[in-house]
Structure 1
């Protein structure tokens, strides 16, 4: 019995490319082969449940390690949750507002975005995350937050976020010429800690675990899991942390990795 974990963006799909916005047939077929042989398949993503495309939610995965390990679903039941401290969330929201940065607050099932954050809403739309997937009206005191994502068109804004993070929090960032994007979450949660909790639940040895990923938030799990495989399109940190580099998402690299390194054994 094996457990195989998959990142979403840049691994199973490439959200900005219309031909790769959904799981490709070759990749889907390979995952189905794993299931037919009795192996477990899990999503392990920084995304919230609200940000998962309906086709991924309904694909038939055994569970989801979401929000960088802060929430774990197994067969539609939450088996682990680790929300952020409410005072920290309030303080970071205040920092963002004082510097005109827009942010997403992510809960177990819902993602919360201020209706006036038009820059952020438009950017999410480019990744296939649409208004109907967002809660635009909310009271901060009434929601439970597991991760924050902060966006700004001004790169210098990042220092205000980093300088205001307490020691028990961490971040990953994505910077290009158009915007700065930062994910903020608790240090003691990651995709790796989430995957290890799943292995313990299922009584599966770590040597029988596998992961496919591409980003900086995959570094821990790529090095911790039995066999971590990075996509050729992945970040330098991800590729350096993996035991194997498989072809890119545009070359159905997940299917290649399943066939050669899991089913081929």
Structure 2
């Protein structure tokens, strides 16, 4: 197995532990990679404004964010994939009829479309963002590019409207018992990584990725070396080449050791 030239890290439950802090072993591992000339990158469902401090802490300047829809290399955007506005309008209409809360995300901010429901409050608070709760702006999606929606409903709620044309061309990826990411039909971390690798003139075999969630499944199977955290969901483990220890047990450090990068 060739040693990767670039390593992508998911954030929640991968770089971050359950307290939303980076374990010392993880920070050490990343700085060692950087000293060896390996590109360290983030691949996350979060938007750039949500993890500025993390990038500063780890000296990371390349990332695939908003589930592949906003990609940055050396602090400059290199690929964007917004959701089409007619689809956003239909999504708003359906969510309002069902009583679902909806938030819209771009690279700079997140806005609620209407007053937040209990499900929305639970979902957003679970992210433990060092930011005020999103303001309400019903016209935000009309006036700005939107790269992702956050739709708040449980598995038990009726969401048949999402299965009807053309809303069924969007992708819905659950990240919380009350929260689902809404992304373009071709949106995924894997697609964002693909676009970045083209720019770098790298192949998938040149890349490694660490992840734990449902939105990491395609990424872990796409790169040459996919590593699932010990705390990962079963689908992520099945799509990975190997499973390391959990984030609480120095999973990133051990995973990099296993593939000979440390």
Task: With the length of structure 1 as denominator, give the TM-score of the two structures.
Answer: 0.88
Write the mapping of 1:133-212 to structure 2, written as runs, cut at 5 A: 134-137=134-137, 139-140=139-140, 141-152=142-153, 155-163=156-164, 166-174=167-175, 176=177, 180-212=178-210
Residues 116, 83 of structure 1: alpha-carbon distance in 2 compared, 3 angstrom cutoff: same
Conserved? CA contact 2:101–2:114, under 8 Å: no
Equivalences for 1:78-97 in 2 at 5 Å? 78-97=77-96
TM-superposed CA distance for 1:192, in Å, is: 1.0
* Number of equivalences: 257
Query: Deviation digits for residues 189-237 of structure 1, max 9, x if unmatched?
Result: 2111211222222222332210001111111111110100011211111
Task: Report the CA distance shift for 1:7/1:174 in structure 2 as closer, same or farther (over 3 A).
Answer: closer
Shifted more, 4-13 versus 189-198: the winner is 189-198
Partners of 1:192 and 1:105 lie apart in 2 by 22
- Cα offset for 1:122? 4.7
1:241 aligns with 2:239: yes
Query: 1:30, 1:259 within 8 Å by CA — same for their partners in 2?
Result: no
Tell me how large the CA RMSD over aligned residues is.
Answer: 2.2
Alignment TM-score, normalising by the size of structure 2? 0.89
1:96-135 aligned within 5 A: 96-114=95-113, 116-117=115-116, 119=118, 120-132=120-132, 134-135=134-135
Equivalents in 1 of 2:52, 2:101: separation in Å? 22
| Structure 1 contact 149–181 (Cα < 8 Å) conserved | yes
Q: Which runs of 5+ in 1 are unaligned?
A: none
- In structure 2, the residue matched to 1:35 is 34
Aligned-partner Cα distance in 2 for 1:138–1:29: 44
Structure 1 residue 259: Cα displacement: 2.3
Aligned residues of 2:123 and 2:176 also touching (Cα < 8 A) = no
Given that residues 170 and 186 in structure 1 are in contact (C-alpha distance below 8 angstroms), is that contact kept between their aligned partners in structure 2? yes
Contact 1:105 1:148 (C-alpha < 8 Å) held by counterparts: yes
Going from structure 1 to structure 2, the CA distance change for 1:181 and 1:118 (only over 3 Å counts) comes to closer
Gaps of 5+ in 2: none
Contact 1:6 1:12 in 2 (8 A): yes
Shift of 1:154: 6.9
How far off its partner does 1:12 sit? 1.0
2:62 match: 63
Query: Cα 1:162–1:220, aligned 2, differ >3 Å: closer, same or farther?
Result: same
